[in-house]
Amino acid sequence: MNSNLLADTSRPNPVAPALRSKAELRAALADARRDGRSIGLVPTMGFLHEGHLSLVRAARAECGLVVVSVFVNPTQFGPGEDLDRYPRNEDRDLRLAGEAGADLVFAPPVAEVYPEGFCTAVEIAGGLTEVLDGDPSRRGPGHFRGVATVVAKLFNLAQPDAAYFGQKDAQQAAVIRRMARDLDFPVRIEVLPTVREPDGLAMSSRNAYLGPAERERATALSRALATVERCAREDALGIGLEAGRRELLEAGIEPEYLEARDPDTLERVKALGDRPVLVALAAQVGPARLIDNVLIHPNT
């Protein structure tokens, strides 16, 4: 591979090069593919934090070449959502990605991903995109249509051996797993644990919207989930959901949802049995809509 297309490791802080076009990305990956090196893909919308970087490091440990995509995907934002103000800092992203082990960053303009006349979308049915964030009264199934479409395009462009996602976006991960299975993408989907701040707040690019008081209130999300998990392990999942809701209300937070679901099918779950249970939560805290979850494994 052309060394000019790799992160500059001669600098104290390596910077990953940014590729803007699909043709550049394919050309940059061609040599690695011919050499038999495995390719790892980390799809992101940028404004990287430690959660993203944990995925990059995991990809670096397992793959011969690591690509990070940085693309704020307009098709997964609905009317009135925060597309225009979503935090962006490309220079910082290139530095952090390089330091974490990325070889390349694919950062295309919108017109490169959705050229004029683009009219195709990937739709995931089966109940995965109509609940939780996909409920029509919330973000709606169109959100996941946008997610699935852009990830399918990234899979086609990069043809990765493995793609890395975070557990914080559990519904997104379920949708991507189903898409990869149903459409026969030859890619291994790796979902890594949520990375949290020392006070328990799940790391998110949207945490940048929070002021100090809102930031403190937001820690109630992880406390609520911990309460639900504790009760679920005592055979009281329903009581735990009620207690978790009270924890949020005491912090002045009205949850959009706090629900127990099967992590693969997203069907409702009433008790902790012999399969893991996903307890998912979304809430507006000041200007930030935050999501979080806990995956409760059966007692052993």
CB 180 within 8 A of CB 189: yes
pLDDT at 7: 57
Identify the CA nearest to 41 among candidates 103, 116, 118, 131: 103
In which element (H, E) is residue 191 found?
strand 188-192
DSSP state of 282: E
For the segment 236-260, what is each residue's pLDDT rounded down to a tens digit?
999 999 999 999 999 999 999 999 9
For the segment 218-227, what is each residue's pLDDT rounded down to a tens digit?
999 999 999 9
- Mean pLDDT over 165-179 rounds to 98
Identify the CA nearest to 174 among candidates 191, 157, 151: 191
**Enzyme catalytic residues:** 52
Please give the share of the chain, as a percent, with pLDDT higher than 90.
Answer: 92
Residue 13 pLDDT grade (very low, low, confident, very high; cuts 50, 70, 90): low
| Domains of the chain: residue spans and CATH | 3-192 (3.40.50.620), 205-295 (3.30.1300.10)
The per-residue pLDDT of the chain, averaged, comes to 94
- Mean pLDDT over 135-158 rounds to 97
The CA distance from 74 to 5, in Å, is 27
The CA distance from 152 to 4, in Å, is 28
pLDDT, greater one: 2 or 204: 204
Residue 299 pLDDT grade (very low, low, confident, very high; cuts 50, 70, 90): confident
